[in-house]
């Protein structure tokens, strides 16, 4: 087992960190405050750096890198701006990867190549008002009409919603089937008649990432856009989420690292009782715990990413990485606010935003409880 990053992975870290610190960090607070998604900065620039298709083969417009490189990219973006991190993760893991995994050659050429090159942005529509953790409870319906499908229903909490051009969505196509059976996946393009955007959520965190409702009213989709086999959509969703959870685990890792870095800098400078805070052993112990948890999270995230690139099973490992990294992000950012004292509770310091951003990592792409369901079911088999 080799714990050293390769030269390529180190180069990607250096490149993304320089970009994130120079271009993304300066506007992170302002975009958060104003709920502003800056497509040029948060997506087009990522495409120029080769990140929007980083793990896909070059023949589909990707960079042909491995999943550890992808995890590092999301981590480094999230270290300064979790909204930018999730933009990449939702685009690549959720909007693009199911087309890579389940698409026909023609679908890959039509949809994946522009996604990987960042000409189009991707998103994923699984969650519904009454089907969140119970993803098999999908009530959006798809009915055949000649070669086409007619979709009716709605999807909520869609990251990149409204901004994305290409959506992978799920609809029940067998009305008699129960639970996870009889669900199919479809590719729906922005601008398709009958496909509109509903309410934009006002959120606690990741406020510069748009989260919208998708509405389908007699939306006609060509038969070509059925993704994978009819009725196999639940497995498309589950396999997509196995990879997506590595993205969110990387986002959580980046948030935790960012909070640790900001806190280290602060406690070295801040003096109380005529000493810097770092002179207090109680403060050192807290920093030690934070750093140890971040390092453990990093190994779990990279291990899941390594397995995803090596053809090994990784469903359980990605769930473990997401569970641990997201709970670490919440603990570390809470501790970071505490160590900043009253200043940490204000918007003068970035740890306040980081703590709000961390919370969502315990919720989306499967709550911490759902990660325990996935891990527990694997252990019980
Ligand atoms: N890979 C392949 N197949 C899988 C699988 C996986 N990882 N997990 C389950 N399956 C298969 C099972 O083998 C089973 O197949 P058979 O019918 O052949 O037996 C089938 O799927 C059903 O499995 P379960 O009985 O385990 O299904 P369930 O209904 O009990 O649900 C669950 C399991 C893990 C709770 C699942 O519903 C789940 O993951 N829920 C959470 C959904 C989620 O994460 N939503 C996030 C939305 S996306 C989002 O948040 C995006 C964003 O904006 C950033």
For residue range 255-294, list pLDDT tens digits in order. 999 999 999 999 999 999 999 999 999 999 999 999 999 9
pLDDT, position 1: 72
135 CB within 6 A, ligand 1:
yes
114 shares its domain with 141:
no
Residues 200 and 162 sit within 8 Å (Cβ to Cβ): yes
If you measure from the C-alpha of residue 169 to the centroid of ligand 1, how many angstroms do you get, rounded to a whole number? 15
- Mean pLDDT over each residue of the chain, to the nearest integer: 98
Residue with the smallest CA separation from ligand 1 atom 43 is: 366
Residues 133 and 370 sit within 8 Å (Cβ to Cβ): yes
98 CB within 6 A, ligand 1:
no
Q: Is 365 one of the annotated active-site residues of the chain? A: yes
Query: Rounded CA gap, 311 and 334, in Å?
Result: 37
H/E stretch holding 83 reads helix 82-89
Residue 96 is given by DSSP the state I
**pLDDT tens digit sequence for 89-110:** 999 999 999 999 999 999 999 9
List 163, 213, 352, 365, catalytic entry? 365
pLDDT band at 2 (very low <50, low <70, confident <90, very high): confident
pLDDT band at 82 (very low <50, low <70, confident <90, very high): very high
Task: Phi first, then psi: give them for residue 132, nearest 5 degrees.
Answer: -105, -90
If you measure from the C-alpha of residue 187 to the centroid of ligand 1, how many angstroms do you get, rounded to a whole number? 19
Q: Residue 12 domain-assigned?
A: yes
pLDDT band at 202 (very low <50, low <70, confident <90, very high): very high
pLDDT band at 316 (very low <50, low <70, confident <90, very high): very high
239 shares its domain with 333:
yes
**Residue the block writes with tokens 């959120």:** 203
What CATH number is given to the structural domain containing 28? 1.10.540.10
26 shares its domain with 75:
yes
136 shares its domain with 88:
no
226 shares its domain with 252:
no
Question: Among the residues of 211-350, which ranges form H helices?
Answer: 233-269, 281-309, 315-340
Residue 10 has pLDDT above 80, yes or no: yes
Of 175, 204, 232, the residue that ends a domain is 232
Residues 148 and 223 sit within 8 Å (Cβ to Cβ): yes
Region label for 118, one of left (φ > 0), alpha (ψ between -120 and 50) or beta (otherwise): left
159 CB within 6 A, ligand 1:
yes
Q: Which of 87, 322, 366, 374 best tests ligand 1's pocket when mutated (most atoms within 8 Å of CB)?
A: 366
Which atom of ligand 1 is found nearest the CA of 94?
Answer: 51
Of 90, 121, 152, the residue that ends a domain is 121
217 shares its domain with 248:
no
245 shares its domain with 224:
no
**Residue the block writes with tokens 């990251």:** 159
Q: How far is CA 337 from each of CA 15, 160, 191, 305, 319, rounded to the nearest angstrom?
A: 29, 29, 43, 30, 27
If you measure from the C-alpha of residue 238 to the centroid of ligand 1, how many angstroms do you get, rounded to a whole number? 5
Of 106, 121, 136, the residue that ends a domain is 121
366 CB within 6 A, ligand 1:
yes
Task: Note down the domain range covering 79.
Answer: 7-121
133 CB within 6 A, ligand 1:
yes
**pLDDT tens digit sequence for 334-359:** 999 999 999 999 999 999 999 999 99
131 shares its domain with 99:
no
pLDDT, position 239: 98
44 shares its domain with 71:
yes
280 shares its domain with 228:
no
378 CB within 6 A, ligand 1:
no
Burial 289-302 (b: 16+ CB within 10 A, else e): ebbebbeebbebbb
315 CB within 6 A, ligand 1:
yes
If you measure from the C-alpha of residue 314 to the centroid of ligand 1, how many angstroms do you get, rounded to a whole number? 14
User: Is this complex's ipTM strictly greater than 0.90?
Assistant: yes
Q: Residue 320 domain-assigned?
A: yes
Long-range CB contact pairs, 195-198, < 8 A, 24+:
195/151, 195/219, 197/161, 197/162, 198/154
Residues 83 and 42 sit within 8 Å (Cβ to Cβ): yes
The pLDDT of 313-327, averaged and rounded, is 98
Which atom of ligand 1 is found nearest the CA of 124?
Answer: 51
**pLDDT tens digit sequence for 59-75:** 999 999 999 999 999 99
The pLDDT of 183-197, averaged and rounded, is 98
224 shares its domain with 280:
no
217 shares its domain with 256:
no
Domain count within the chain: 3
% residues pLDDT > 70 (the chain): 100
């Amino acid at each position: 087992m080799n714990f050293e990053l390769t030269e390529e992975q180190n180069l990607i870290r250096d490149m993304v960190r320089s970009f994130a610190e120079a271009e993304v960090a300066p506007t992170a607070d302002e975009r958060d405050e104003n709920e502003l998604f800056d497509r040029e900065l948060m997506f087009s620039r990522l495409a120029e750096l080769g990140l929007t298709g980083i793990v896909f083969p070059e023949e589909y417009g990707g960079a042909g890198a491995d999943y550890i490189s992808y995890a590092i990219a999301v981590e480094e973006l999230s270290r300064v701006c979790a909204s930018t991190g999730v933009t990449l993760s939702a685009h690549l893991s959720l909007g693009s990867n199911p087309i890579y995994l389940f698409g026909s050659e023609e679908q890959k050429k039509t949809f994946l190549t522009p996604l990987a090159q960042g000409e189009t942005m991707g998103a994923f529509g699984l969650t519904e008002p009454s089907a969140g953790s119970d993803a098999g409870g999908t009530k959006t319906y798809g009915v055949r009409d000649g070669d086409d499908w007619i979709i009716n229903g709605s999807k909520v909490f869609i990251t990149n919603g409204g901004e994305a051009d290409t959506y992978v969505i799920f609809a029940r196509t067998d009305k008699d089937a129960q639970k996870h059976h009889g669900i199919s996946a479809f590719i729906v393009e922005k601008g398709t008649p009958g496909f509109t955007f509903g309410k934009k959520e006002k959120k606690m965190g990741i406020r510069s990432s748009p989260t919208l409702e998708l509405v389908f009213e007699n939306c006609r989709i060509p038969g070509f856009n059925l993704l994978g086999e009819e009725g196999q959509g639940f497995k498309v969703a589950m396999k997509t989420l196995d990879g997506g959870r590595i993205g969110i685990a990387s986002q959580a890792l980046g948030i935790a690292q960012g909070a640790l870095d900001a806190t280290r800098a602060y406690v070295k400078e801040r003096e109380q009782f005529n000493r810097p805070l770092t002179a207090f052993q109680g403060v050192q112990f807290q920093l030690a715990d934070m750093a140890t948890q971040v390092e453990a999270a990093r190994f779990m995230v990279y291990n899941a990413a390594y397995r995803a690139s090596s053809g090994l099973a990784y469903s359980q490992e990605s769930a473990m990485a997401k569970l641990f990294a997201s709970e670490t992000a919440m603990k570390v950012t809470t501790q970071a606010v505490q160590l900043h004292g009253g200043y940490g509770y204000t918007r003068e310091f970035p740890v306040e935003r980081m703590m709000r951003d961390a919370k969502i990592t315990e919720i989306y792409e499967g709550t911490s409880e759902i990660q325990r369901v996935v891990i527990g079911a694997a252990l019980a088999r």
